[in-house]
Structure 1
Amino acid sequence: MRIVCIVLAFVFASLGAHAQTASRDFFAFVMLAEGSDGHPVPMVRSVAERAPACPVLRSSAGGVSTAMTPRRRPPGGQFDGVTVCEALYPVGEAASVFLGDRRIDLPTVSLGTPRRVALIGDSGCRGEALDKPQYCGGDGFAKVWPFGILSDEEADKRPDLIVHVGDYNYRGTERGLVLPPHLTGYAAPLSVNVYDTGDLDDEDIASLPIGAAYWSQNIEGSPNPDKWTNWRDDFFRPAARLLVAAPWLFSRGNHELCSRGGPGWFYLLDAGSTLLGPGRKQAECLPQLPADWRPGAWPKPPAQPFAGLPFPTHTSAPFRLKLGRLNIIAVDSANAADAVLYNLETYLTQYREVARMLAEDPTPTWLVTHRPVWAVVKRDKGGPIGLTPYGFINETQREAIHRVFGRGLPPHVTAVIAGHMHRFQAIGFEGAHPPHLAVGTGGMELSHVQPPPSPENPKAPIRIEGLDRGPAWVVGLRDFAAMIVRPVEDGTWTSVLYGTGGEPLATCDSRWPGPGRQRSVCELQ
């Protein structure tokens, strides 16, 4: 019966996608951000194709109507066909967004301790890329790109909060570009790498295109700039049911760098907004070429666009959501290099701000960031430590935390939650480090489990020596999945990882690891 339901869900999702294509796509969702006064602020965003004006927000209780205001489109014309609008959203009552005769009903928002938090990440689909193409629809939907199925599953579990740990847009963010002569002025096409500070877990050949190799998909005249249709197809259409199920916390991934999907990120999902109070505004990407690089007349090779100059990157400051007896601190790790120390000063600044937040409020806290702080990968894909056969990521964040916190994160940090790796990995430390979850299993093609499980007992945790100066116990899975976490008032939490058929794949308890306890934070089912 479960298989029949999945097939029917796919059929109806496909019909819905065709119906939306025939008309005009219209989405709305609620997101949470931190106001300038430190309190959480619910905001509603609408995303509408070819809309002549912004929608109206109307509360269900008093029927009060609020005109939504437009956000600033990225330059270049790639988002001119879609209008994003926003407004403050009420607490304690549901509301609806109206655009002409179309209506989207939105959830009731509570700012108390959430009972069920849905975690999902790395949900996009690579598409017909030259390197390792991934089919993004048709008969292979549930097996090859199951984000729509997982979205429906999580919506049915009625979460109070949804946390996406980043990487929404894959089909529009390839790793390289071929720049045509009419753009460069050169005699032949120019092949370049796109700036990223590491995406090393899932690649056959380790690649780190930083430093002088910096190029951006979003340079003027790019043959593959960030655009709305990729965001629509990779995230908004398959997430349609989940978008309206609960308020969201969106984390920025490395596929949302300004050199990749950054323009759409800051327009569609980033929390920056004037609605958050004085000093807050919508963020945007800096120009992706120097001002004196004219189309068709670039400096002759081997010139590099920002040689000797700061790269035009943007890293948002950490923000905190105070939700009853749970705080969540979001850290933008998109620019944190995986396997080498790069942009370290940026992340020293980031974690000094995290330290300030933690020092002023001892409420149990989750740290949410796209790139893992501690994760086990192949030795040649991360920073090797000692004589272990593994590599470890993320080197930049780990070093920043060492320098800022010395002996480690304070004990009221009860979880570090990430994605980036296209698999599930759960780490429980024998020392004082908080449990670490990587849930990058939302739809992107999966990578192999590291460390490799024991052939005699594949579900048993693997002991890793030297993972951030101490032993740790690691379990992992190569399954498409999402997680429901249940916080407890005393700061502990439990969770279950669910597969595409709703089956439990792992159960977790924050009390399991710790000094003298030889177990991970999760057990595989």
Structure 2
Amino acid sequence: MIGSNGRTLGAVAVASLLAGCSATHIDEATKDDYVKYAWVVMGDGGKPVARAATTYGTCPVITVDGGDTRMTLRAAAGTPAQRTTASAAADSKPSAFPLNVCEAAVAADAKEAHVGSRALPLPKAAPQRIVILADTGCRLKKADNAWQSCNDADAWPLAQIAATAAKLRPDLVMHIGDYHYRENACPSDIAGCKDSPWGYGWDTWEADLFKPAAPLLAAAPWIVVRGNHEECARAGQGWFRLLDTQAYSAKRTCDDPANDAAANYTAPYAVPLGSDTQVIVFDSAKAGKAALATNDPQFLTYQDEFRTVAQLAGKAKTTSLFVNHHPILGYAPIAGGAPAGGNAALLSVMQQLNATAYYPAGVSLAIHGHVHDFQAISFASNHPATFVSGNGGDNLDVALPDPFPANLPPAPGVTVDRITHGNTFGFMLMERAGSGWTYKAYTKTGTLMATCALANNRLNCDKAGFLAG
């Protein structure tokens, strides 16, 4: 056998080398120089999937409970041909992904896992603390003349939020969509976003999510929910390579607009939180703002998906939390006007299936993002309590009015009992308390703003009205 220096290796040296070939610490593909990020997402049924982004041509080795396995290639490095995007052609460019994305299924009861020197966070059978956040990227959007100061940690505080939340030692993280916002090039005369990457390739995904959220990606596995910024004409290509939990295939890449009708939708699935609670994940990435006609293809797709939600929510002796990006029984603040109600497209489908109940039986709580504030809403009518947690980094919305207007339902047939709200950057923590859960709202620095307890679909929060930052 010939060594790299051209000299013959001795028998002892050969034996030593062969004995160590499977060890991850000497595997060339597994060196930290090549593996840039490693993380874990939770799939259907709570199955953890380990992912790694690497510049090496071969996938790294993952070591799980002492056993080594070569990760499999999910998406090869490359630059797909330019596709139509939400921006004008002059403000778009091909999405470059210079890293291979590799993955490996991990047993739900695994005790430890490593990719090189990186310890991967693994799920617990009965998680106790779950961080919730959404709408975390930095907005660069020419159509809105919106140029957030991505270079200013106060103006775009995701790194601070991630560090603060990681210190709470969560067992899981739920991101409720909109990871990516850097769509267009920062103008040369705006210092706050000077030299920021833009477009939909890896450089923007790294800047908007992987680098600032690194402490939280290392702290716990993530339940990932798709937002409208991850639909195919926007950051869908990165979504499918990096975060989506289903198998990667040519028709589910967003590379070819001819496949968008399928790739913009994902069947609902459930992730258990112990034996008594589950999260039902719903992909509303392509939901528009207007009610849908019953013969609209989108109506029919969502109708089938809400029927699946009903089946999942019918699980006996299980509390079901429904999570999707667009608020259904929440509010969107409007400067100088009355707040708008929930998403009309989704409500039109839900009303056909469940009249003014909207949700199927079994759903006790709904959690959303999309609106860039915090809302905790309890209803006097028989509707699931609702949280909006869209204050994770992108430009905040104006505050909801306080006192909140009476007799302003988010949808017909719904009666609000009380609402607690605020438009300060922050996140939520869902924490097990006996047989139930408490829900806490924190600022970006970790100051507790409100604590809510859920009982019989009703939220009891220790503060009603506006929450000061």
Partner of 2:245: 271
1:67-466 superposed matches below 5 A: 67-73=70-76, 75-76=80-81, 78-90=95-107, 91-98=109-116, 103-112=117-126, 114-127=127-140, 129=142, 131-137=145-151, 140-141=152-153, 143-172=154-183, 226-273=200-247, 283-285=252-254, 287-288=256-257, 314-324=264-274, 325-341=276-292, 343-378=298-333, 389-406=338-355, 407-410=357-360, 412-450=362-400, 452-454=401-403, 463-466=406-409
- Contact 2:60–2:71 under 8 Å retained in 1: yes
Query: In the TM superposition, what whole-angstrom CA distance separates every residue of 1:161-193 from its partner, at most 9, and x where no partner exists?
Result: 10000101101369xxxxxxxxxxxxxxxxxxx
Structure 2 unaligned regions, length at least 5: 1-32, 82-93, 186-197
Greater than 6 Å deviation, 4+ residue runs: 517-523
AA of the residue aligned to 1:65: D
Specify whether residues 312 and 92 from structure 1 end up closer, same or farther in structure 2 by C-alpha distance, changes over 3 A only: closer
- Alignment of 1:51 with 2:56, yes or no, is yes
Partner of 2:37: 27
AA of the residue aligned to 1:486: E
- Contact 1:428–1:519 under 8 Å retained in 2: no
Q: Within 2, Cα distance between the matches of 1:166 and 1:426?
A: 18
Q: Within 2, Cα distance between the matches of 1:92 and 1:313?
A: 32
Q: Shift of the alpha carbon at 1:463?
A: 3.9
- Contact 1:336–1:347 under 8 Å retained in 2: no
Query: In the TM superposition, what whole-angstrom CA distance separates every residue of 1:303-342 from its partner, at most 9, and x where no partner exists?
Result: xxxxxxx957520110111232111100000111134437
Query: In the TM superposition, what whole-angstrom CA distance separates every residue of 1:450-471 from its partner, at most 9, and x where no partner exists?
Result: 2x113xxxxxx65443333122
Specify whether residues 286 and 464 from structure 1 end up closer, same or farther in structure 2 by C-alpha distance, changes over 3 A only: farther
Specify whether residues 328 and 173 from structure 1 end up closer, same or farther in structure 2 by C-alpha distance, changes over 3 A only: farther
Which of 478, 501, 524 is matched with 2:445 structurally? Answer: 501
Query: In the TM superposition, what whole-angstrom CA distance separates every residue of 1:358-387 from its partner, at most 9, and x where no partner exists?
Result: 224441010010111122225799xxxxxx
Q: Shift of the alpha carbon at 1:408?
A: 4.0
How many residues align? The count is: 401
Q: Shift of the alpha carbon at 1:272?
A: 0.8
Q: Shift of the alpha carbon at 1:392?
A: 1.2
Q: Shift of the alpha carbon at 1:449?
A: 1.7
RMSD (Å) for aligned C-alpha atoms: 3.1
- Contact 2:313–2:361 under 8 Å retained in 1: no
Q: Within 1, Cα distance between the matches of 2:361 and 2:319?
A: 8
Q: Within 2, Cα distance between the matches of 1:379 and 1:471?
A: 20
Q: Within 2, Cα distance between the matches of 1:128 and 1:151?
A: 24
- Alignment of 1:40 with 2:9, yes or no, is no
Q: Shift of the alpha carbon at 1:95?
A: 1.0
TM-score (norm. length: structure 2): 0.78
- Contact 1:427–1:521 under 8 Å retained in 2: no
Q: Within 2, Cα distance between the matches of 1:420 and 1:404?
A: 24
Paired residue secondary structure (2:396): coil
- Contact 2:123–2:220 under 8 Å retained in 1: yes
Query: In the TM superposition, what whole-angstrom CA distance separates every residue of 1:103-127 from its partner, at most 9, and x where no partner exists?
Result: 2111242233x21110011000024
TM-score (norm. length: structure 1): 0.70
Q: Shift of the alpha carbon at 1:89?
A: 1.7
- Alignment of 1:66 with 2:76, yes or no, is no
Query: In the TM superposition, what whole-angstrom CA distance separates every residue of 1:46-74 from its partner, at most 9, and x where no partner exists?
Result: 112x2232111112x4x211110111247
Query: In the TM superposition, what whole-angstrom CA distance separates every residue of 1:122-166 from its partner, at most 9, and x where no partner exists?
Result: 0000248571211112xx21x101001110111110111100001
Q: Shift of the alpha carbon at 1:226?
A: 2.1
Q: Shift of the alpha carbon at 1:255?
A: 0.4
Q: Shift of the alpha carbon at 1:399?
A: 2.0
Specify whether residues 437 and 281 from structure 1 end up closer, same or farther in structure 2 by C-alpha distance, changes over 3 A only: farther
Which of 471, 479, 482 is matched with 2:427 structurally? Answer: 482
Q: Within 1, Cα distance between the matches of 2:461 and 2:119?
A: 47
- Contact 1:30–1:106 under 8 Å retained in 2: yes
Specify whether residues 411 and 227 from structure 1 end up closer, same or farther in structure 2 by C-alpha distance, changes over 3 A only: same
